[in-house]
Amino acid sequence: MGPTDATSAEKRDYIGVEAGDVHLTTTAARQRRAHRWRLLRDPHAWTALGVAGGACVFSFGLVYVGYFAHVLHVARRAPVRPSGPGCLLLFGKHAPGGRIDPEFRDRLRRAAEVWQRQPGRPLLLMGGGFDGSTSEAELARRALLEAGVADTATLLLDTESRDTLQNLRNARELLRAHPQAGPAVLLSSRYHLARCALFARNLGLDAELCAAEARLPWRPSTLWRLAGEAAYVCWTDLGTRWARLVRHRGMLERVS
């Protein structure tokens, strides 16, 4: 085979790999959308949305403003170093084709730093995959080992969960199976921490927060994410409060 043929073969191989990655990524994206639609088709979710929406309308938006202020406060004030020695729960992030984006990279960097300050601390890596793709938890494990976390470290993996609530439900079961892991430390991006804290409280988890970024980045995309998180926290929290008030067992089972 001559140089030209070799180059053509390499090009074909490269194109084949890229095409496979694109197909896998597209399929995974479809499955993520399907998962979200399944959640939205839940009638209890719509009841909670009606309660939250009604509260926002009748308060002329003040209820939503209050939740936005809360999410922003948590995002700004969250510490970067845990005060206790508990198990570090690292929230994964969608990584199409195994590509880790800057937000996920920040979470991994912080997790490695926290572990290096206290090497005995167990880590629980959370996040599944779609369509047979490598799970977020496995990607995190590989990245942390490359970042200097020892292969003898206590690394627990949850490779099944597909959203924040499932992350924490599975984490609760894993922590019960490993009581020596102690209380939980929730590590995620700043904009995401208020949701994590809310779900942890609903699930009865004793937890503190740890922010991935040194400080909250001020850019349009951050404000958009904070606005979305405020809406989600408002929806979930008011729906849960309503379910407790009327003792709606079906709704409560969705968040506990």
> 34 CB contacts (<8 Å, ≥6 apart)?
none
**Residue 253 burial (CB < 10 Å; 0-12/13-18/19+)?**
exposed
In this prediction, residue 112 has a pLDDT band, given cuts at 50, 70 and 90, of very high
* 92 within 8 A of 103, measured Cβ to Cβ: no
Mean pLDDT over the full length of the chain? 83
In this prediction, residue 256 has a pLDDT band, given cuts at 50, 70 and 90, of low
In this prediction, residue 46 has a pLDDT band, given cuts at 50, 70 and 90, of confident
Q: What local confidence, expressed as pLDDT, does residue 22 receive? A: 41
Of the ranges 62-71, 81-90, 121-130, 154-163, which is most confident? 62-71
Q: Say what the pTM is.
A: 0.82
The sheet carrying 123-126 orders its strands as 155-158, 123-126, 87-91, 184-188, 207-211
* 139 within 8 A of 146, measured Cβ to Cβ: no
